């Protein structure tokens, strides 16, 4: 059975990232593609890591947090990585809920001010 391998260009296309982003992820050691001459190839492990990186970014995690979390798998295994994920997720959920509350308050204040202005014009 042949394992999936993506070229640099295919990786950019699959994950809708710029070449600069992909090179940066390599530079900060989030990804380590196989190199053949000047070409880079990304196997199943790198594809899975990229999926996790982009998911983490979407959830608001910093790249260094993601890098440290990915390293746990290599040094301590799956269970330790999952425990750390729960800690990170709990912290991020709290932060996002706080931001949501602040946003709702700001929206309410803005709507109230808009309504007052409309009444003044009437």
Q: Tell me how crowded residue 56 is: count the other CB atoms within 10 A of its CB.
A: 21
How large is the average pLDDT for residues 74-90? 93
Under the banding of pLDDT at 50, 70 and 90, the label for residue 122 is confident
Architecture of domain 1-58: Orthogonal Bundle (1.10)
User: Is residue 1 over pLDDT 80?
Assistant: no
Residues of the chain with CATH 1.10.1660.10: 1-58
The pairing of strands 34-36 and 39-42 is antiparallel
- The label of the residue with tokens 């003044």 reads 120
User: pLDDT digit string (tens) for 38-62?
Assistant: 999 999 999 999 999 999 999 999 9
- The label of the residue with tokens 């979390």 reads 69
List, in order, residues 6 or more apart from 31 with CB less than 8 Å away.
22, 25, 42, 46, 49, 50, 53
| Contact assessment for residue 32 and residue 43, using Cβ atoms and an 8 Å cutoff | no
- The label of the residue with tokens 């059975």 reads 1
How large is the average pLDDT for residues 60-76? 92
User: pLDDT digit string (tens) for 90-115?
Assistant: 999 999 999 999 999 999 999 999 99
Share above pLDDT 90 across residues of the chain, in percent, rounded to a whole number: 93
Entry pTM: 0.82
């Amino acid at each position: 059975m042949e394992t999936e391998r993506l070229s640099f260009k295919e990786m950019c296309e699959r994950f809708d990232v710029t070449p600069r982003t992909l090179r940066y992820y390599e530079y900060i050691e989030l990804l380590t593609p196989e190199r053949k001459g000047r070409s880079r190839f990304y196997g199943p492990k790198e594809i899975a890591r990229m999926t996790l990186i982009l998911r983490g970014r979407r959830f608001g995690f910093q790249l260094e947090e993601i890098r440290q979390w990915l390293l746990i798998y290599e040094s301590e295994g799956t269970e330790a990585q999952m425990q750390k994920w729960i800690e990170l997720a709990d912290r991020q959920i709290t932060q996002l809920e706080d931001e949501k509350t602040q946003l709702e308050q700001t929206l309410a204040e803005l709507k109230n001010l808009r309504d007052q202005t409309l009444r003044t014009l009437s």
